[in-house]
Structure 1
Amino acid sequence: MTSAAPSVPSASSPAVPSAEDLAFARDLGAFVTASPSSFHAAAEAARRLEAAGFTALDDREEWSAADVRGRRFVVRDGAFIAWIAADGADAGTPWRIVGAHTDSPALKLKPNPRLGAEGFAQAGVEIYGGPLLNSWLDRDLRLAGRLVLRDGSVHLAATGPVARVAQLAVHLDRQVNSEGLKLDPQRHLQPILGLGEIDPVALLAEDAGVDAAEVVSWDVVTVDSQEPAVIGARGELFASARLDNLSSTHACLRALLDLADADATGPAGADADAEADADAPISLLVANDHEEVGSDTRSGAGGPFLEDVLVRMHAVLGGDDASRRRAFTRSMVLSCDAGHAVHPNYPERHDPVSRPCLGSGPLLKINAQQRYATDAVGAAEFARACEAADVPFQEFVSNNAMPCGSTIGPITATRLGMTTIDAGIALLSMHSARELCAVADPRRLSLAASAFWRP
């Protein structure tokens, strides 16, 4: 198996992004801005899906065969599943599944968040996932998430920049630059909200337009308030919060919407879905929540959400357990999550041969311990999809001395028994409050996902 050779930009051959790449990156920025929490990401995806003619289903209601054919989606908390199924889809139809996740490392608001010291109002937070803690210092932060009222109603809320974790001045920590920064997560990471007494929940309630006295619980995180931006000497870089993993969620959502648009405007016109080949697989996108904390939740990849939807779809299409298992073995998953580009200041931390760089296409992620689920069959399929999309790709493996992270890929493969591929775009500063990618790579991942859905 071979991949396209990385193309390293030079002064004589600048990596100037195309107009299509720039437009795609700016739309990614709009998606990130609209998605400060996983709940907002699911809501923004639902808004875009509905605008494209997808119909929402309620997973608490009974479904029929007519309900699951066509363009449909389901939202569960901060996760969503969307799909396109032809009218000819039946119990023998396999799935082509593309997966991502909607959450990112953050500081999460505690149940009793009102703090104060030395005249400052602060918010009590705990660590969500594995953030680079120092990256949250001296940044203007928003609070975002969902509020649940006494009557059980759920309301999304997101403040403007209201919080800041202030770093200790160098004059009071003379060794910080020689001995390194040491942060106690309990003492040093509580954000300042202002002066005097301030209730962070009241700030969120005001944004949501609800009575703060009626708020009984919340799932709220901090997020960098700085707008995403195209940067770099030639505009070839893209800086933003939550690229891990909204870069994948957005790219795959755009791929599904483009697929729906291509079907609708093809030779069969608006009836393309109904006339589609009955043998075509069901194109499905799942964006799970809680990947950064292990995925073992009702909306995470370790939970039942995806399997519930697949089982229910298959049952109303006339299948039984045996035919479902056969359909599962004929199905395939492309798990999309961000990976590491070689860092120019720390080149020794990376594999000496596989040297992925920004701007050279998506990563095919491989790990001998199966921390990524890619095997030879899946790698060949990803190569086919990238070739069909005219997209270069790069192989990623970890330095043997560096522990390897993981994704929803191995979890999904274990739950469903489907051949699974791990891929994603390359980042620098992964798990920082603000991450960095190449402008060209998100669109390339989207094109590869589209080709994966059309085997």
Structure 2
Amino acid sequence: MTDAADRKKEAEELHKELTFSFKNLWDPENKEEMKAIMDFAEDYKTALDRGKTEREFVDHAVELLEAEGFRVFESDKPLKAGDKVYESVHGKGLVAAVIGTGDPLMGFNLIGAHVDSPRLDLKPNPMYESDDLTLLKTHYYGGIKKYQWAATPLSLHGVVILKNGETVKLNIGEKPEDPVFTITDLLPHLGADQMKKSAAEVIEGEELNVLVGSIPFPGGEEIKERFKLGVLKLLFDHHKITERDLVTAEIEIVPASLARDVGFDRSMIGGYGQDDRVCAYTALKALIDVETPLTRTGMVVLYDKEETGSGGITGARSQLFPSIQRRMVKSILGREPSAI
């Protein structure tokens, strides 16, 4: 064997021993495995469609957990190995656990993910009329490419607390029969100056105003703010919402599109909010699929506010999440833990 052949053989052996490469997961072992992958993807797409906001995703997660025998965690009730519990954090975060057989002070098997995604939020006093149109003022949440949000169908999701204390949940623009909303843009032949701008400046933040109506309230031009009044009348007739209610409402604007398969082979998924709901959903499913308790307690923690620095009472910096974990340890031990 020549020196060159020896060196080649040595290099091949070293490469095999020292390097690492990921297996292409599109090489399933059998048809049953491929079917399982595709079935999982269908459920994942459903989760994306039903959970377009952090509140909606947590609601869907609770439905999945309860369907698999999880119950609300109650601090005054003991926990034992195999118990499945969860606690919602103000409807925008979640802690779920399958209690293990070992000492909880030795740690948990924990997976964390966030369920908020970049979007547009309505400002506190959002509605105004201009040029015989009714619009809603927004500010962007998280990192977005602003030009991607213009001239595309948008839906409106959120929670409104009425004056009488009633909670109204809004989800408009997702059903085929629903109206959608949009942010206007210039036609190509009118946008010569606009096209000279950088991508960050093509659409400015203050231009992200959502078009929601153009039919005035009947009565002629002497009616004050008649275009705005026309939309407010519809909001009140259908949802009992007044303009004052919008001041404290939590309303989010997201793309009005369903998650879809991408490619002739349907090997990819296109859909809004996959950062980071792809991790949140898979972590949740992994916990649900635990049939025999592990030694360590398995736990999934879903956070809010990651896109804006993880602050607030529902973000990862909040003390609410470790507080829930501490209370769970207390319920397992039957006493206040001395250290955690």
Superposed counterparts of 1:104-123, under 5 Å? 104-123=117-136
- Which of 99, 107, 116 does residue 94 from structure 1 map onto? 107
Separation (CA, whole Å) in 2 of partners of 1:141 and 1:251 = 27
- Cα contact 2:104–2:296 (8 A) shared by 1: no
The answer for unaligned runs of 5 or more in structure 1 is 10-16, 264-275, 325-455
The number of residue pairs the alignment matches comes to 295
TM-aligned CA distance change 1:186 to 1:116, over 3 Å: farther
What is the identity, as a one-letter code, of the residue corresponding to 1:4? S
- Give the secondary-structure state (helix, strand or coil) at the position aligned to 2:79: helix
Where relative contact order (Cα < 8 A, 6+ residues apart) is larger, the structure is 2
Q: Deviations over 1:191-215 (max 9, x none)?
A: 11121435778777777xx521494
* Higher CA-based Rg: 2
The alignment yields a C-alpha RMSD, in angstroms, of 2.9
What's 2:259 paired with? Answer: 228
TM-score, normalised to structure 2's length?
0.77
Q: CA deviation at 1:152?
A: 4.0
TM-aligned CA distance change 1:85 to 1:121, over 3 Å: same
Separation (CA, whole Å) in 2 of partners of 1:286 and 1:180 = 39
What's 2:38 paired with? Answer: 22
Q: Deviations over 1:384-419 (max 9, x none)?
A: xxxxxxxxxxxxxxxxxxxxxxxxxxxxxxxxxxxx
Separation (CA, whole Å) in 2 of partners of 1:204 and 1:242 = 27
Superposed counterparts of 1:31-430, under 5 Å? 31-57=47-73, 62-66=75-79, 70-77=83-90, 78-86=92-100, 88=101, 90-160=103-173, 161-181=179-199, 182-183=201-202, 185-196=204-215, 197-198=227-228, 210-213=239-242, 215=245, 217-259=248-290, 262-263=291-292, 276=293, 280-316=295-331, 317-318=333-334, 320=336, 322-324=338-340
Q: CA deviation at 1:148?
A: 2.0
- Give the secondary-structure state (helix, strand or coil) at the position aligned to 1:187: helix
Separation (CA, whole Å) in 2 of partners of 1:234 and 1:248 = 23
Separation (CA, whole Å) in 1 of partners of 2:233 and 2:118 = 24
- Cα contact 1:143–1:223 (8 A) shared by 2: yes
- Cα contact 1:36–1:145 (8 A) shared by 2: no
- Cα contact 2:181–2:211 (8 A) shared by 1: yes
What is the identity, as a one-letter code, of the residue corresponding to 1:162? V
Q: Deviations over 1:355-398 (max 9, x none)?
A: xxxxxxxxxxxxxxxxxxxxxxxxxxxxxxxxxxxxxxxxxxxx
TM-score, normalised to structure 1's length?
0.59
TM-aligned CA distance change 1:7 to 1:318, over 3 Å: same
- Cα contact 2:160–2:250 (8 A) shared by 1: yes
- Cα contact 1:38–1:145 (8 A) shared by 2: no
Separation (CA, whole Å) in 2 of partners of 1:8 and 1:67 = 37
Separation (CA, whole Å) in 1 of partners of 2:52 and 2:157 = 6
Separation (CA, whole Å) in 2 of partners of 1:206 and 1:38 = 27
